[in-house]
Amino acid sequence: MKFKKTCVIFIPVFLAIIKDDWRKNETYSIILKVNRFTFEKEKGERMKTPFERLKINESLQSALSGIGFEKPTEIQERVIPGIINGFDVIGQSQTGSGKTFAFLLPLMHRIDNQKNEVQAVITAPTRELAQQIYNEFLKLSEQLPEDKQIKAKAIVGGTDRKRMAEKLKTVPQMVIGTPGRINDLVKTQELVVYTANMLVVDEADQMLDMGFIEDVDHIASRMANELQMMVFSATVPEKLQPFLKKYMKNPKHVHVEPQHVTAKDIKHVLIQAKHNDKLSKLIKTAKDFNPYFAIVFANTKKTVDEIADAMSAEGMSVERLHGDVPPRTRKNIMKRVQKAEFQFLVATDLAARGIDIKGVSHIINYEFPKDLDFYIHRAGRTARAGMSGICASLFEQTDQHAVQKLKEKKISFQLEQYKNGEWVPVKPSKKASSQKQEDGIYLPKPRKVKPGYKKKMDEQKKKLMKKKRRNTR
Ligand code: AMP
């Protein structure tokens, strides 16, 4: 700031001098010296920058300012020092919290670019996520000077294996990929990892769900004996413990509460739907929102296909993402998604988990996820980087329980409908108003018991008791 001020004062003086007399060269040099002195003095006295405090090396610090990162996010602040000092770390935080750089930065800091051997392995459950981590690496790496460059390779399934093995002949210092493909190449020794002593397991709970932990286990067993492991996961389920215990020594456990769960900038909306016309309700809802970019979530690949086909038949600009979409198409969709070349992406949770898509204005849940934690992951895809977002869910009578559970997690819903060109809260009927919930949403009343039903039940009970008594005599 002071430097700027100095410039503001001196530049007009310079101009005046230049205008007056070109021969007063000495005056310029004195002014320049004074200026330089003020700047140097300021530099010496100034506070350390936030990344400097984390002991990230200078070239990485300048690369970070080159990509516009001014200060670390909470997860970065809390795990980077531990990783730099060689500790095992469990980082519990959501996508969007900056967790990719929470492990990339200390790894890049520690890798010795003079050593031509694999030093770090990063594993992620999906190709898209692995590719995204690799892209984040490239983003930073492009800012580094030639002599500080680190060689990294993306190793993902669904690509030509032979070509990949060929490429690995130039040994990378870091590999980023999916466990299956990395393990494949490790088994055949086309990728040698015994030199590497840093292993990152990203989205570990998803790795477990998808049955990849065995592959990770195998990779880890082939790595250096003194292995430093960094596990990142939204949740740390009990079933993950044996794996963690096998490789981690007194890990530093850092839990960053997901801010976006209760963030004011996400509006959680319920839209009433009936089971038999849910698809048309979804299409109408999507059209009424007319979002900048929306992700529509469904629980199965089949439902994703049905929705995407129906939306496409309506002439809507839509793509789909699930496990059966061929790798090439998935890659292409991810590229187009970043450029917002279409308006709706219909996806399953597993395909979309961990993927950072900028500018998602709306999330539309065709159905509530079976595991309600996924509701939070889904909602967290919107309202990023200080923007606001809407997470709308089609709501049926059978979803009451899910809504109740989410309300216990402090998510407050609004029941809305589209009327006269705008979204408005649903006004409760007189009957429903007696059931008003504390957060202002009016859920439909549970179905009434048929008249006379209780009387009938009592009669039946009496009959059964009589019969029982007769039989026991
Ligand atoms: P992630 O949770 O790793 O998917 O990161 C979410 C987004 O935050 C990505 O687009 C990152 O490039 C960005 N990001 C990560 N760290 C920082 C930081 N310190 N400052 C600004 N943006 C960041």
Q: Position 440: which residue type?
A: G
* Beta sheet of 120-123, edge-to-edge order: 152-155, 174-177, 120-123, 198-201, 228-233, 89-92, 252-255
pLDDT score, position 268: 93
Shared domain for 341 and 393, answered yes or no, is yes
pLDDT score, position 334: 86
Kindly give the number of the ligand 1 atom that is closest to the alpha carbon of 73.
19
In angstroms, the CA 108 to CA 117 distance is: 14
Residue 459 lies in a domain: no
Residue 160 lies in a domain: yes
Shared domain for 76 and 192, answered yes or no, is yes
Shared domain for 286 and 399, answered yes or no, is yes
* Residue among 428, 426, 402, 398 nearest 414 (CA): 426
From 255, 288, 311, the end of a domain falls on 255
Give, for ligand 1, the residue of 52, 60, 61, 69 to mutate: max count of ligand atoms closer than 8 Å to Cβ.
69
Largest CA distance in the chain: 128
CATH number, domain of 166, equals 3.40.50.300
User: Could you read off the pLDDT of 227-281 as tens digits, one per residue?
Assistant: 999 999 988 888 999 999 999 989 999 998 765 444 568 889 999 998 888 999 9
Which pair of structure tokens corresponds to residue 468? 């029982």
Look at ligand 1, atom 15, and give the residue with the nearest C-alpha: 98
Residues spanned by the domain of 399: 266-443
Residue 273 lies in a domain: yes
Say if residues 118 and 185 touch (Cβ distance below 8 Å): no
Shared domain for 73 and 182, answered yes or no, is yes
Is the pLDDT reported for residue 364 higher than 90?
yes
Q: Does ligand 1 have an atom closer than 6 angstroms to the CB of 289?
A: no
User: Could you read off the pLDDT of 397-429 as tens digits, one per residue?
Assistant: 889 899 998 988 888 898 888 888 888 888 766
Residue 60 lies in a domain: yes
Residue 450 lies in a domain: no
* Residue among 125, 282, 317 nearest 202 (CA): 125
Residue 454 lies in a domain: no
Q: Does ligand 1 have an atom closer than 6 angstroms to the CB of 96?
A: yes
**Each residue of 216-251: b (16+ CB within 10 Å) or e?**
bbebbebbbeebbbbbbbbebeeebeebbeebbeeb
User: Could you read off the pLDDT of 43-63 as tens digits, one per residue?
Assistant: 444 567 789 889 999 999 999
Look at ligand 1, atom 21, and give the residue with the nearest C-alpha: 69
Shared domain for 156 and 214, answered yes or no, is yes
CA of 216 to the centre of ligand 1 (A): 25
- Number of domains forming the structure of the chain: 3
pLDDT score, position 38: 45
Q: Does ligand 1 have an atom closer than 6 angstroms to the CB of 101?
A: yes
Tell me the mean pLDDT in the region 149-166.
91
User: Could you read off the pLDDT of 57-81 as tens digits, one per residue?
Assistant: 999 999 999 999 889 999 999 999 9
Q: Does ligand 1 have an atom closer than 6 angstroms to the CB of 74?
A: no
Look at ligand 1, atom 9, and give the residue with the nearest C-alpha: 98
Residue 321 lies in a domain: yes
CA of 387 to the centre of ligand 1 (A): 14
Residue 461 lies in a domain: no
Look at ligand 1, atom 13, and give the residue with the nearest C-alpha: 98
Mean pLDDT of the chain: 82
Q: Does ligand 1 have an atom closer than 6 angstroms to the CB of 100?
A: yes
Shared domain for 80 and 16, answered yes or no, is no
From 194, 227, 255, the end of a domain falls on 255
Shared domain for 415 and 317, answered yes or no, is yes
Shared domain for 86 and 215, answered yes or no, is yes
Q: Does ligand 1 have an atom closer than 6 angstroms to the CB of 309?
A: no
> How much is the pTM?
0.64
In angstroms, the CA 415 to CA 428 distance is: 10
pLDDT score, position 438: 41
CA of 290 to the centre of ligand 1 (A): 28
| Rg, C-alpha atoms of the chain | 29
Q: How confident is the model at residue 195 (pLDDT cuts 50, 70, 90)?
A: very high
In angstroms, the CA 294 to CA 390 distance is: 9
Shared domain for 116 and 144, answered yes or no, is yes
Kindly give the number of the ligand 1 atom that is closest to the alpha carbon of 354.
4
Shared domain for 152 and 273, answered yes or no, is no
Shared domain for 107 and 222, answered yes or no, is yes
Shared domain for 380 and 278, answered yes or no, is yes
Is the pLDDT reported for residue 319 higher than 50?
yes
From 255, 286, 302, the end of a domain falls on 255
CA of 160 to the centre of ligand 1 (A): 30
Which is more confident, 394 or 44? 394
Look at ligand 1, atom 8, and give the residue with the nearest C-alpha: 98
